[in-house]
Structure 1
Amino acid sequence: MRLAPIAAAAALLAAVGGCTKSTPQSDTGISVDTLKTITQKLSSDEFEGRAPATPGEEKTVAYLIERMKAAGLQPGNKGSWVQDVPLVELTAQNVSPLNFTGGTGDPISLNYRSDMVIGTYRVTPQTRIKDSDVVFVGYGIHAPERGWDDYAGVDVKGKTVVILINDPDWQTKELAGDFGGRAMTYYGRWTYKFEEAARQGAAAAIIVHDTEPAAYGWNVVQSSWTGPQLEQDSPGNHMDQSQAVGWIQNAAARKLFAKGGQDYDKLTAAAKVKGFKAVPLAGVKASVSFDSTIRRQASKNVIGILPGSERKDEYVLYSAHWDHLGRCDKVNDDDICNGAIDNASGTAALIALAEAQVKKGPAKRTMVFLAVTAEESGLLGSKYYAENPVFPVSQTVGGVNIDGVNINGPTKDFVFIGVGKSELEDMVKPLVEREGRTVVPEPTPEKGFYYRSDHFSFARLGVPMFYGESGEDLVKGGKQAGKKAADDYTTNRYHQPSDEYDPNWDWSGAIQDLNIFFWMGRELADGTTWPAWYKDAEFREIREKSRAGK
């Protein structure tokens, strides 16, 4: 049943007799010790960065099962704590430079890692691209419902396409435009751009890196796209994908455009305007080659449940990814990307919430606590679960995903990531207000965080999933201190060996947020409503079809 947003929130709040305005949020009983202990353990060098299909995974899965048992959960997959996720690992070797010949001037030779990164989704031992025509396709978007097609009138079959990251209107200050203005849509994500290039038949798809619209520096691209790369092990070996996919530095792209007789700034400006036509880089040919070692091995999602007391076949979901990058580029003689914030802290939060919900007692609906694998490889663990669910997505009421927690102290504000999606937002607003905090707009909507974590795997199949976090207005230091801390993490720690546990972290901000997630899950699980997507949300139709089949 679809309720009006305000009515839905009121109904959900009223559904829990013990959750009233007089109930202090601190009564959730979420353990700071659990948060500290698990985060420190999972991010220690002992776990070697928690890469899937490594000894680090074996230790992680065993530890999570141990903690779920101790929390009082039951195994979630027909008596098992795990769900196998078939993966294939591809490691590029003998990578040649990415060479561009023809056109004007001298040949351009881009070196692996420093100038470009390259790989493949295809499960094949060799990749060879020779003298492929190069075409600039703007933002690489085919969106007929928005009247936008960067591939209109051009045949890129067998060619190399060069693509800009993000959406055409990402520099717009308002949240209005062909692609939501400042807020990124899925069309802005690199995953979509490679998917569309493959659908168009491109032999190679190369994204131009630019720090602001990408939301991270080249160091993140380098650490994430080199070394072993994971993909779902599916029939067909992904031979429907482009032969090669990768990124090049912005400076290299400028040289490439000049070689094709084009001005980079003028052409990228033109790509922002509806009606843009793809531009071949006259006479320019691309060549690259590399080998791939192939290793197939199942990774594991870890699942614990707190069975419902009345409606056991209706499910409320908490999710977090347990994996990180494993061994990565060495910095100061350290080559372990420990992933303390991302996402040992979120995994610790998952267990802390499980402990607190078990102590509260069973709700009417079943609560599912899902620790997924291979988020860092493209949301593979959550995608596999959503497409092969232990509990039907049509019977999953909704939930919350946790990807990192606030270790900078309490804030005056709270941010909805991807605001304007579902009635879960109306449910959460009163919980934020009861803490004396204010819901504020997402400070960096152009970074597209809603499409970058595991809730998206469920949302795209219709399950309303909430993703929110502390804002930047710290109680101690205000917005300036909060922004400084956020920028420091992005620049100096994100996807780097320096994302390590610090005993001096302030966990009070994390407790603030987890209190909200606790009551949100409890109210969903004790209620009878099925929160809907908002009218204009892209996932509304699939949810309505899913529920109609019940």
Structure 2
Amino acid sequence: MFKFASIAAASLALAACSGGTKDASTDASTDLSIPDVKPGDISIETMKEVTKTLSSDEFEGRAPGTEGEKKTLAYLVEQFKRVGLQPGNNGSWFQDVPLVEITSENFKPLTITGGKEPLSFTYGKDWVGTTYREEKSTDLKDSELVFVGYGINAPEKGWNDYAGVDMKGKTAVILINDPDWEKSTQDGDFNGRAMTYYGRWTYKYEEAARQGAAGAIIIHDTVPAAYGWNVVESSWSGPQAYAQRKDGGADQTQVNGWVQQDVAKKIMAATGHDLTKLMQEAKTKGFKAVLLGAKVSTQFDNKVRKFASKNVIGILPGSEKPDEYVLNSAHWDHLGHCKANAEGDDICNGAVDNATGTAALVALAEANVKAGPAKRTLVYLAVTGEESGLLGSEYYGANPVFPLSQTVGGVNMDALSMAGEAKDVTVMGGGKSQLDAFLDAALKKEGRVATPDSEPQNGYYYRSDHFSFAKRGVPMFYIDGGIDLVNGGTKAGKAYNDDYTKNRYHGPDDEYDPNWDWSGVAKDLQLFYTLSRMLADSTSWPNWNEGDEFRKTRDDSCAASDKGC
């Protein structure tokens, strides 16, 4: 994932840390232990060499399940050994990540019966969908349609769109984003303009499955989705990869899909309802799900392919609390072979995205080994399958090598900016957790600032590997390079971002350039080093802010364990 945008400077007025222990370095305003960290001895030569090697044609774009993966894994182990890490998974450098690829095909129309007239909608033009179940065929037959508003069940907010309805065997029709997405400010039950996880399509399918639904259909709307129907159609067509589930996906819905908004209007009209009116009612707390009095059916075949990939894990054991962990994560994978450019080059090398982030793991590990162990264990986690949907981090989150209740927090690195030194940093998820106090302290040391968020409605915090840990309660930083450049200001920063997005992102031209300006990367690496080392030498357990969607998960995780938080 790559994100170029300005991000909000989070409010730093934070609640006291639950369980934090005061010592000489305690920040009195937050009751958090925020140690002073000396700058790390970070080698830019290591960054250059690892980035150049991983993004060379020899590694064939680092696609999971290919020869490129084998070469990547061997090289990362070699580098982790060289800098002095220890294998992180009970003596092994690897965590096996079993994956499944489901290719749905031979789609029958999506049909609606029981209304004023039967309706039939064409796959691709009107609707798209697939299944998360490892089954040769999918047959959704006469499933009762229920409009469930935004499909949110948030007990901490007193909000439950499924209240009073048994969804077993039924199909949920769901609005994208959060109920208050149209607000111009970032206040309200769901943070107003700033999307929460409840607004993401991933959550909506997860919740529908928890409710026992047979199907889940999201109504597409370009503005609150932040992308057009063309993106939905292309993303949901062809092979879909997932981390294998122990039950083969039996606990998931039969069908997860999308419909065009005009299609939804026709369905509502045929059942005697007005979509615009229902959308307005769904914004209100206490909204009740509406049984539409119609049934939906569709059928398609599935090709299921299982294969294995691997996460790479190295550790620097803590000197005082080795059973408390701080994560440093980045995804090693990219797209492999892709659509060729004008010169016929069809290797998506992924130099920026994300050979740079993977190289950062090696360089930061090297610097921390030089500095000596921190009090807590530092974990360096290179995950697979990010480009296919956060698969490696999702598998680790569901099958953690180190208990999540004993994981303090961490830093995720995805596509470092080569724009040069910046006066600011771009922070995803600012204002969500007590990590903000650590970031504030680190930025003050460097004389930099966090840039205000211009696109909080797009929910970028929920789109990279840190999210697989965050949604399970582990507070995570996700910080990109800044946009206000020392040389050229925001105009130059925006020009660089636009050029990368247009000409190199997810294409064959994202290649290593010996003329890159590494000055900005050097500053960002010092920030990453400081943040993870602060967490590793702290006595505190930073939590999510009161009312955040991940707070209850963290509190429950801590309450269930007699160790860690």
TM-score by length of 2: 0.83
Alignment of 1:430-441 (within 5 A): 430-441=441-452
**1:276 and 1:411 mapped to 2: Cα distance?**
46
Q: Is the 8 A contact 1:227 1:328 kept in 2?
A: no
Q: Is the 8 A contact 2:433 2:543 kept in 1?
A: yes
Bigger CA drift: 241-250 or 452-461?
452-461
- Are 2:301 and 1:288 aligned? no
Partner of 2:27: 6
- Given the superposition, is the C-alpha separation of residues 392 and 287 from structure 1 closer, same or farther in structure 2, using an over 3 Å criterion? closer
Bigger CA drift: 369-378 or 172-181?
369-378
Aligned-partner residue type, residue 178 of structure 1 = D
Q: Give 1:205 deviation, angstroms.
A: 1.2
**2:432 and 2:280 mapped to 1: Cα distance?**
30
| 3-state secondary structure, aligned to 1:117 | strand
Partner of 2:77: 65
Partner of 1:28: 41
- Are 2:312 and 1:302 aligned? yes
**1:431 and 1:43 mapped to 2: Cα distance?**
31
Q: Is the 8 A contact 1:167 1:184 kept in 2?
A: yes
**1:137 and 1:498 mapped to 2: Cα distance?**
43
- Given the superposition, is the C-alpha separation of residues 536 and 140 from structure 1 closer, same or farther in structure 2, using an over 3 Å criterion? closer
- Given the superposition, is the C-alpha separation of residues 205 and 316 from structure 1 closer, same or farther in structure 2, using an over 3 Å criterion? same
Alignment of 1:91-110 (within 5 A): 91-100=103-112, 103=115, 107-110=119-122
Alignment of 1:85-124 (within 5 A): 85-100=97-112, 103=115, 107-112=119-124, 115-124=126-135
Which structure 1 residue ranges, 5 or more long, are not aligned? 20-24
Partner of 1:168: 179
Aligned-partner residue type, residue 312 of structure 1 = P
Q: Give 1:80 deviation, angstroms.
A: 1.5
Aligned-partner residue type, residue 34 of structure 2 = L
- Given the superposition, is the C-alpha separation of residues 209 and 369 from structure 1 closer, same or farther in structure 2, using an over 3 Å criterion? same
Alignment of 1:40-439 (within 5 A): 40-43=52-55, 46-100=58-112, 103=115, 107-112=119-124, 115-280=126-291, 283=294, 285-326=295-336, 338-439=349-450
Q: Is the 8 A contact 1:321 1:373 kept in 2?
A: yes
Q: Give 1:390 deviation, angstroms.
A: 2.7
Q: Give 1:492 deviation, angstroms.
A: 7.2
Aligned-partner residue type, residue 309 of structure 2 = S
| 3-state secondary structure, aligned to 2:363 | helix
| 3-state secondary structure, aligned to 1:195 | helix
**1:13 and 1:428 mapped to 2: Cα distance?**
12
How far does the alpha carbon of each residue in 1:201-254 deviate from its partner, in whole angstroms, 9 at most, with x for none? 322212233344334444544454333323332332221211011223445444
Aligned-partner residue type, residue 240 of structure 2 = Q
| Cα RMSD (Å) | 3.4
**1:274 and 1:483 mapped to 2: Cα distance?**
40
| 3-state secondary structure, aligned to 2:437 | helix
| 3-state secondary structure, aligned to 1:523 | helix
- Given the superposition, is the C-alpha separation of residues 392 and 273 from structure 1 closer, same or farther in structure 2, using an over 3 Å criterion? closer
- Given the superposition, is the C-alpha separation of residues 136 and 87 from structure 1 closer, same or farther in structure 2, using an over 3 Å criterion? same
- Given the superposition, is the C-alpha separation of residues 247 and 407 from structure 1 closer, same or farther in structure 2, using an over 3 Å criterion? farther
**2:455 and 2:330 mapped to 1: Cα distance?**
22
Alignment of 1:372-521 (within 5 A): 372-483=383-494, 486=497, 496-497=506-507, 500-501=510-511, 503=513, 505-521=516-532
Q: Give percent identity, aligned residues only.
A: 58
Q: Give 1:514 deviation, angstroms.
A: 1.6
**2:414 and 2:199 mapped to 1: Cα distance?**
20
Q: Give 1:302 deviation, angstroms.
A: 0.2
Which structure 2 residue ranges, 5 or more long, are not aligned? 1-18
**1:135 and 1:330 mapped to 2: Cα distance?**
45
Q: Is the 8 A contact 1:120 1:244 kept in 2?
A: yes
Q: Give 1:72 deviation, angstroms.
A: 2.9
- Given the superposition, is the C-alpha separation of residues 320 and 48 from structure 1 closer, same or farther in structure 2, using an over 3 Å criterion? same
Q: Is the 8 A contact 2:41 2:370 kept in 1?
A: no
**2:336 and 2:262 mapped to 1: Cα distance?**
29
Aligned-partner residue type, residue 136 of structure 2 = P
Q: Is the 8 A contact 1:326 1:338 kept in 2?
A: yes
**2:466 and 2:422 mapped to 1: Cα distance?**
24
Q: Give 1:529 deviation, angstroms.
A: 4.0
**1:388 and 1:163 mapped to 2: Cα distance?**
30
**1:131 and 1:330 mapped to 2: Cα distance?**
44
Q: Is the 8 A contact 1:341 1:499 kept in 2?
A: no
Q: Is the 8 A contact 1:39 1:501 kept in 2?
A: no
**2:43 and 2:222 mapped to 1: Cα distance?**
37
Q: Is the 8 A contact 1:492 1:498 kept in 2?
A: no
**1:29 and 1:276 mapped to 2: Cα distance?**
54
Q: Give 1:301 deviation, angstroms.
A: 1.0
Q: Give 1:472 deviation, angstroms.
A: 3.2
Partner of 2:15: none
